[in-house]
Structure 1
Amino acid sequence: MNTKSTKLKPAKLCYEHIGGKLGQLLLENFADKAWIAKKTPTDKHFYITELGQKEFTKLGIDISQIKSEDL
Structure 2
Amino acid sequence: MHYGPLLGTPGVELRRHGTTLYNSLYRADDQMLVNAHVWGVNAYGAPVWHLRRNGAGGMFDTYAASFDAVWETARPVER
Query: TM-score by structure 2 length?
Result: 0.22
Bigger Cα Rg: 1
The structure where helix makes up a greater share of residues is: 1
Q: Which has the higher contact order (CA 8 A, sep 6+)?
A: 2
The structure where strand makes up a greater share of residues is: 2
